[in-house]
Amino acid sequence: MSGFKDLSERAWRVRQLYAQLETLRHGRAWSAEEVALGFVGDVGDLAKLVQAKEGVRDIPDAQNKLAHELADCLWSVMTLARLYDVDLEASFFSTMDELERGIEAKLEKATIV
């Protein structure tokens, strides 16, 4: 299995291929803002697939499509992190540490009462 850095590098290679295709089709690569807007569309597609998995929508092959869309969203996040010079791996761990501490403090406070 690949590590985070391998996944991030693979995502960036795919972004570079998209940039070539965008330049060929439209004369320029997408801006970081346009990549973010594409991500918003992917999140919308993800939400519809979650609804399908919960029985609210009828989407054939929802499980495979859900897996694909989650991967698309991960690609977008990794790409945006690279475009905005964010160390996503370090940020992920520091954010999880912060969340854990906050949740644990709330749980501790709730059990004391």
pTM score of the predicted model: 0.91
In this predicted structure, what is the pLDDT of residue 79? 98
In this predicted structure, what is the pLDDT of residue 2? 78
Per-residue confidence band for 29, with pLDDT thresholds at 50, 70 and 90: very high
| pLDDT of 1 higher than 90 | no
How far apart, in whole angstroms, are the C-alpha atoms of residue 98 and residue 7?
Answer: 24
**pLDDT > 90: percent of the chain:** 96
The beta-carbon contacts of 40-49 under 8 Å, at least 24 apart in sequence, are 42/69, 42/72, 42/73, 42/76, 43/73, 45/69, 45/72, 46/70, 46/72, 46/73
Residue 16 vs residues 7, 12, 19, 65: alpha-carbon distances, Å: 14, 6, 5, 24
How far apart, in whole angstroms, are the C-alpha atoms of residue 59 and residue 47?
Answer: 12
Domain count, the chain: 1
In this predicted structure, what is the pLDDT of residue 112? 82
Residue 87: which domain range? 4-112
> CATH code at 38?
1.10.287.1080
Are the CB atoms for 76 and 42 separated by under 8 Å? yes
- For residue range 47-98, list pLDDT tens digits in order: 999 999 999 999 999 999 999 999 999 999 999 999 999 999 999 999 999 9
Token pair in block for residue 11:
């995502």
In this predicted structure, what is the pLDDT of residue 47? 98
